[in-house]
Structure 1
Amino acid sequence: MSPRATVHLLRHGEVHNPDRIVYGCLPNFHLSETGQAMAELAARELERRAADGANITYLAASPLTRTQETAAPISEKLGLPIASDGRVIEAGNHFEGLHVNRSELLRNPRHWPKLVNPLRPSWGEPYREQVDRMSEAIKSAAAEAVDRGGDGAEAVIVSHQLPIWMARSSIEGRPLPHDPRSRQCNLASLTSLHFDDISAGTRPRIEYCEPAAELYSGVIQLPGS
């Protein structure tokens, strides 16, 4: 029988972004003070699970600043180095660097070609490409965790809302085009994928939790995060 594994997809904490910029893959967008507290709460939750017997052996994160900073307290508490994985980076977005103002974007003709096909979507990386790269990263993380810890080992991947939601939507068989407001992937949330057999190609069981829910009031939630 092939080994079991769990891969936790952790979204980063709140970003310091008072100008409400679509930051996407832009560098040097740091966690806010609240975001740092969110990362700490997520790390404590994983530390608690490890104390209860979870064998967490591998930690990876998107190379972007906000995900690396979210991974840092996990690395400290669990004694794991952070592996940087470009496959779990935020999706590219034509509107990176712009202020979030839907009516302004619609009035500017230079943006219109990027708005013609929301099913792909035409403004950024295709949904299917996000699924493919996330799937490969998840498989790699599961295998790495098992190589280090044996049957039932666990991995953590710190990523971004849209790639995490695309991975989950694909696993659950939902259409990839969606209303962003429908995503169940809040700041510093954990989407846990439980694989009964990492080599069988079967769908994992999914659990979702929000270790930082107490800090959600008043936080800034923008696309491209």
Structure 2
Amino acid sequence: MDLLDQAVEHAYPVATPQQLFSDETADEPRAAGDEDGLAHASRLAARPGMRVATGVDPGRRSVLRRIRSAAPLYRRSRQEYPVDGQASSSLFLPVSIVPDRARERARRRRMTSTFLLVRHAVTDDVDVRLSGRRPGVALNAVGRAQADRLAASLAGGRIDTILASPLERTCETAAAIAAAVGVPVTTDDALLEIDTGEWTGTSFAALHADPRWARWNAERATARCPGGESMGEAQARIIGLIAREAATRPGATVVLVTHSDLIRAAVCNVLGLGLADLHRFDIDPASVTRVVAGERGGRIASMNVV
């Protein structure tokens, strides 16, 4: 990595020069004045994907100040700091070669989808028994109030689609959101609660006495609910759904009303965590976790907002 690459990496630590300067913004290099008091590097200007700007607006100055502060050695003589084994006539960092950031940002917004991962509101089973896919588990009075508050908090923002697990508690939570934002609910089995098999409906007090339950929680990456699903299978369901929706609805905001472990599994995937890390963060009832997904993968914009 040469000095130029180091400076760019410092200013944009998660982007390579090829990512930072899109091929879409490539122009034929042309001469430019030294508006900011620094010499230009013709070697950089010749790189594909760069735009040579004749003026330096305040936004560009901000970016360039960051890069310049990272590369004070550029002001040394060419004898001390050769480039690619050859002496350079100038190692001053050029300041008028900048990415066409506005156009690139607009393109990325069009190609990026936002997912609001919503856990259903409270039921009588929460913290008492493992509901799993047991039918008839509806929101209680507290849960209905939570769902209404959640819906009111989302009413002012853009929502294009609402998808929900087909279980009662998720459909009721989704219905409150739909009423507030005027978007219909579509159910999707990919958002179903993990299949807990023979544990479905069992009290947590009884589960704590079962050694298989302890193993399930200690080894989420490999364990399986007896007669049910593995955590990896559940994770594949929700990540597959997010990938599908990101591809078919670029730029959309999609609400996914689902269950705690499904949201945890999605967060682990986006953050590059293993399923063994599933319990290192909380996903509360009626909370929203915002995931932004696009051509460069996903990121967590906010998590467990109640």
TM-score above 0.5, yes or no: yes
1:41-63 CA distances to partner (integer Å, 9 max, x unpaired)?
A: 11111113x2xxxx311000000
Counterpart CA distance in 1 for 2:242 and 2:129 is: 29
What is the CA–CA distance in structure 2 between the aligned matches of 1:179 and 1:59, rounded to whole Å? 25
Larger radius of gyration: 2
More contact order relative to length (CA 8 Å, sep ≥ 6): 1
Given that 1:127 and 1:177 are in contact with CA atoms closer than 8 Å, whether structure 2 keeps it comes out as no
Equivalent-residue separation in structure 2 for 1:179 and 1:135 (angstroms): 15
Q: Which residue does the alignment assign to 2:262?
A: 163
What is the aligned partner in structure 1 of residue 129 from structure 2? 21
3-state DSSP class of the match of 1:23? coil
With normalisation by structure 2, the TM-score equals 0.57
Q: Could you tell me which residue of structure 2 aligns to residue 105 of structure 1?
A: 210
State the secondary structure of the residue aligned to 1:104. Answer: coil
In the alignment of these two chains, the number of paired residues is 193
Which residue matches 2:200? 96
Q: TM-score, normalised by structure 1?
A: 0.76
Residues 67-82 of structure 1: pairs in structure 2 closer than 5 A: 67-82=170-185
Q: 1:92-122 deviations in whole A, cap 9, x for unaligned?
A: 113112121244324xxxx68x859824222
Q: Distance in 2 between the 1:83 and 1:122 partners?
A: 29
- In structure 1, what is the equivalent of residue 233 of structure 2? 129
Are 2:162 and 1:64 equivalent residues in the alignment? no
1:209 and 1:99 map into 2 onto residues whose CA distance is: 25
What RMSD, in angstroms, separates the aligned Cα atoms of the two structures?
2.6
Sequence identity (%):
26
Q: Is the 8 A contact 2:288 2:304 kept in 1?
A: yes
When residues 79 and 172 of structure 1 are mapped into structure 2, their CA distance, relative to the original with a 3 A threshold, is same
CA distance in 2, matches of 1:25, 1:138: 21
Deviation per residue, 1:31-77 (Å, 9 max, x gap): 111111111111111113x2xxxx31100000001000000111111
Counterparts in 2 of 1:25-40, with a 5 A limit? Answer: 25-40=133-148
In structure 1, the residue corresponding to 2:204 is in which secondary structure?
A: coil
> Which whole-Å CA distance do the structure 2 matches of 1:36 and 1:159 have between them?
16
Unaligned runs of 5+ in 2: 1-106
Flag structure 1 segments of 5+ consecutive residues without an equivalent.
Answer: 147-151, 212-225
The structure-2 alpha-carbon separation of the partners of 1:41 and 1:120, relative to structure 1 and needing over 3 Å to count, comes to same
More displaced stretch, 155-164 vs 12-21: 12-21
| Distance in 1 separating the partners of 2:285 and 2:175 | 16
Counterpart residue type for residue 194 of structure 1: V
- Structure 2 residue 273 is the aligned partner of structure 1 residue 174: yes
SS in structure 1 at match of 2:298: coil
